[in-house]
Structure 1
Amino acid sequence: MRENRDGGDTRVSNANGTTLVSYLLGGMAFWGGIGWVADRALGFSALFLPVGLIVGFAGAVYLIYAQHVRS
Structure 2
Amino acid sequence: MNERTDAVGGEEPPRANAGAVLSYLLGGLAFWGLIGWGVDSALGFDSLFLPIGLLLGLVGGIYLIITQYVRS
TM-score using structure 1 length: 0.84
- Superposition map of 1:1-71 within 5 A: 8-71=9-72
Q: Distance in 2 between matches of 1:33 and 1:67?
A: 24
Identify unmatched segments of 5+ residues in structure 1.
Answer: none
- Kindly indicate which of the two structures has a greater share of residues assigned to strand: 1
Identify unmatched segments of 5+ residues in structure 2.
Answer: none
Q: Which has the higher contact order (CA 8 A, sep 6+)?
A: 2
Q: Distance in 2 between matches of 1:46 and 1:61?
A: 24
Number of positions where the alignment pairs a residue of Structure 1 with one of Structure 2:
67
Give the alignment's Cα RMSD to 1 decimal.
1.9
Counting aligned pairs with the same residue, the percent is: 55
